[in-house]
Amino acid sequence: MHFALQPSRIAKRVLLTSHILSLIVLWLSHGMLSIHLLLSLLILLSLFHHRTILLYHPSTRFTLEENQAITLITPSGETQNGIVATGTTITPCFVLLRIKTEAQRQQINLPIFYDALATDVFRQLKIRLKYAA
């Protein structure tokens, strides 16, 4: 079954809120100005890094087979084959899809919020992952 992810407003809100709260807590704490500036820079770099991970490009898609084999197609067009790894989390609001790739033997964590897919497609994904485990 094919799944095409759309940009998620919820992912944007979670990402921005967590980084803004981190900056607020940092600047409300006591410490040296140079440390605050360095940590602020690290938080902003983290925000920049994670925006590419969490905010999907509309052409990000994947195919999930009956045997839990998965093919992830990145926005650049490259494909990565793998399997659904243990620890995949399914909740009513999001799915944390863990993919163990064949080529690099690394694990990719793909958070999918309910607004990144159509309602019935998100439900089908949850059912497929839940009963295939």
CB atoms within 10 A of CB 89: 12
Q: How far apart are CA 113 and CA 101, in angstroms?
A: 22
Q: How far apart are CA 113 and CA 12, in angstroms?
A: 11
Write down the domain spans for the chain: 9-54, 57-132
Digit-by-digit pLDDT tens for the chain (133 residues) are 888 888 788 888 888 899 999 999 999 998 899 999 999 999 999 988 876 655 555 567 888 888 888 888 877 788 888 888 888 999 999 999 898 887 767 788 888 899 989 999 999 999 988 887 5
Q: Which residues lie below 8 Å from residue 34, measured CB to CB, with a gap of 6+?
A: none
